[in-house]
Structure 1
Amino acid sequence: MRVSLLIPWVFVLLWSTGFIGAKLGLPYCGPFTFLAIRMALTLLCFAGLIAVLRPGWPTLAQARRQWASGGMLHAGYLGGLFAAIKLGVPAGLAALIVGLQPLLTALLAWRMGEQRFAPPQWLGLLLGLAGTTLVIAGGKGLALAGGAGVAFVVAALLLITAGTLYQKRRGQGGHPLTGAFHQYLSAFVITGALALVFERHQAVEWSGRFVFALGWSVLMLSVLAILLLLRMLRDGEVGRVAAYLYLVPGLTALQAWWLFDERLSPLAMGGIVLAAAGVALVLRGGRSR
């Protein structure tokens, strides 16, 4: 089997562990502070890789496009999601709103003429959304609460959707290492500024759980998973790439059941199977421009 065929599955598995950072890290500091530290450490990781591998640097125009991508994909999406969870938005509701991303991305890609979908693929996108809803409803349930914090989740949804489309359409052409470095430079500036404005009086409580959450978020998510995502966006259709995200809630539910003894009902298991069937339909085919 070609290594490239494994990339989407490794990405989905890593991306589904994102809850570890929020669940283990947020009790010890503010959301923007956590993200600023994460972005700073990620920058150091990419600086080390760049020093060893010496890839070519992007032009100023390419760097600007990466700054825009980083602001949306990393600072905007993660900042909105972490802030919403910190403000008390139920995890199930946040996951359901963000779970609209594959369908929203596909609709926008189709409307912009970037990708054409066959009827079975549209059915697959709807099945994926239905499966995601069942996973959430069969886990901790769907609590319609959170107040103004819901606006942060909606902002996170819009920003990751826009960032995905922008990266596919405008963010190509440079080396992935230096491109990612510029993305995280932008994300660090934004999250660092937000931390200084809103959380400068909140101290960080360093602990083993916090260090583990930070290390996992940096190495597995911000470095490895993002490099895989950039490769997927470079080589694949944006709608098909986004469809893989329907598998994330199911894998997250399985990990929460395994690691934290959270509930995993037959309804949630059915949702996992339904979401997988939806992804399979999307990946069957379709024509791109």
Structure 2
Amino acid sequence: MAQVSLAPSGRPAWMRLIPAVFVLLWSTGFIGAKFGLPYAEPLTFLLIRLSLVAAVLAAVALVTRAPWPRRWSDALHIVVAGLLVHGVYLGGVFTGIANGLPAGVAALIVGLQPLLTAAASGRMLGETVSARQWLGLALGLCGVLLVVWENLSLQAGYLSGVALCVAALVGISVGTLYQKRFCGGMDLRSGTALQYAATSAVLLVLAMRFETMEVRWTGEFLFALAWLGLVLSVGAVFLLYILIRRGAAAQVASLFYLVPPATAVIAYLMFDERLGMPALAGMAVAVGGVALVNRRR
């Protein structure tokens, strides 16, 4: 029988591919949102996506006899992390793009997660932030301001889209730290199913209150729904949780600085979204800032 080659750490060599695969899959989430949003309102789209995935994962958890949280406190921690990572983050991104914010700009704003994570990790995980890292935080902020300024519009939709993506940034950053601290022993099958079910319940209330919940079941919408549901909500999220479990929060968060460039390339190829020189310079500054924050001493 052929043996699987091992990395120096003793782990299978294919484990090294997980970060790259995660970045590629996560980048397509912004594209999938723009691809499917013309056919359904954002909260309704998310409600259908997450409720279907919750049902599938719950069935998988039952068939495979996955362990469920034994204590209410454990279940509560899982739900809180899920509402932040899936509800606040996805809700902010989807509604922001639905309001007209370019997918590349949305990806860049939430791509500042490593910076915000570094700033918050001291309080939540006991990590310290050095002067070099604070310099990186400032550079990242300047980079985002350059990108947003070039595309700045005084229209309410654009400004609200920026605000919604900032809220998404806070949600994914705090949610990642919360997941790392309180949900380390969560079973991916049952725990993620619980997170999606809880988020779907909140989305149902919000969609009934603020949207018409009308859907046009076109081929494009079904493709976007299948891709975002199976590839993103299962594949990419499972990879994220594996990375969170195996690595430090700052190391995991540093992967997100690769998402905006990848999203910008895909958005250019599929939607002809173009970024001018100021925006490209801002993206480079933001990437440099995040690299500075996460550079090993």
Shorter-chain TM range is 0.7 to 0.9
Task: Report the Cα offset of residue 65 of structure 1.
Answer: 0.9
Task: Report the Cα offset of residue 26 of structure 1.
Answer: 0.8
1:79 alignment counterpart: 91
Structure 1 residue 11 corresponds to structure 2 residue 47: no
TM-score when normalising by structure 1: 0.84
1:182 alignment counterpart: 194
| CA distance in structure 1 between the aligned counterparts of 2:224 and 2:259, rounded to whole angstroms | 19
1:65 to 70, 74, 77: 77
8 Å contact from structure 1 (residues 128, 278) kept in 2: yes
8 Å contact from structure 1 (residues 115, 239) kept in 2: no
Classify 1:274/1:53 alpha carbon distance in 2 versus 1 (closer, same or farther; 3 Å). farther
| CA distance in structure 2 between the aligned counterparts of 1:281 and 1:3, rounded to whole angstroms | 27
Superposed CA deviations along residues 168-205 of structure 1, whole A, max 9, x for unmatched, are 11122221221111111111111122122222x34210
SS of corresponding position for 2:184: coil
1:46 to 57, 75, 94: 57
Superposed CA deviations along residues 109-130 of structure 1, whole A, max 9, x for unmatched, are 1244522345555555555555
8 Å contact from structure 1 (residues 93, 142) kept in 2: no
8 Å contact from structure 1 (residues 28, 210) kept in 2: yes
TM-score when normalising by structure 2: 0.82
| CA distance in structure 1 between the aligned counterparts of 2:130 and 2:100, rounded to whole angstroms | 40
Superposed CA deviations along residues 125-178 of structure 1, whole A, max 9, x for unmatched, are 55555556667778xx44454344544333322222221221111122221221
**Number of aligned residues:** 283
| CA distance in structure 2 between the aligned counterparts of 1:121 and 1:185, rounded to whole angstroms | 37
Residue type of the alignment partner of 1:233 = I
Classify 1:124/1:236 alpha carbon distance in 2 versus 1 (closer, same or farther; 3 Å). farther
Structure 1 residue 231 corresponds to structure 2 residue 242: yes
User: How large is the Cα RMSD of the aligned pairs?
Assistant: 2.9
Structure 1 residue 156 corresponds to structure 2 residue 168: yes
| CA distance in structure 2 between the aligned counterparts of 1:258 and 1:49, rounded to whole angstroms | 36
Aligned ranges for residues 213-232 of structure 1 at < 5 Å? 213-232=224-243
Residue type of the alignment partner of 2:249 = V
| CA distance in structure 2 between the aligned counterparts of 1:175 and 1:204, rounded to whole angstroms | 33
| CA distance in structure 1 between the aligned counterparts of 2:46 and 2:139, rounded to whole angstroms | 33
Moved more, 141-150 or 80-89: 141-150
Residue type of the alignment partner of 2:209 = V
8 Å contact from structure 1 (residues 109, 115) kept in 2: yes
Structure 1 residue 208 corresponds to structure 2 residue 219: yes
Structure 1 residue 26 corresponds to structure 2 residue 42: no
8 Å contact from structure 1 (residues 124, 279) kept in 2: yes
Question: For structure 2, which runs of at least 5 residues remain unmatched after alignment?
Answer: 1-6, 8-12
| CA distance in structure 2 between the aligned counterparts of 1:109 and 1:25, rounded to whole angstroms | 35
Aligned ranges for residues 101-116 of structure 1 at < 5 Å? 101-112=113-124, 114-116=126-128
Question: For structure 1, which runs of at least 5 residues remain unmatched after alignment?
Answer: none
| CA distance in structure 2 between the aligned counterparts of 1:125 and 1:72, rounded to whole angstroms | 22
Moved more, 76-85 or 33-42: 76-85
| CA distance in structure 2 between the aligned counterparts of 1:92 and 1:284, rounded to whole angstroms | 25
Task: Report the Cα offset of residue 50 of structure 1.
Answer: 1.9
Classify 1:8/1:283 alpha carbon distance in 2 versus 1 (closer, same or farther; 3 Å). farther
| CA distance in structure 2 between the aligned counterparts of 1:151 and 1:130, rounded to whole angstroms | 17
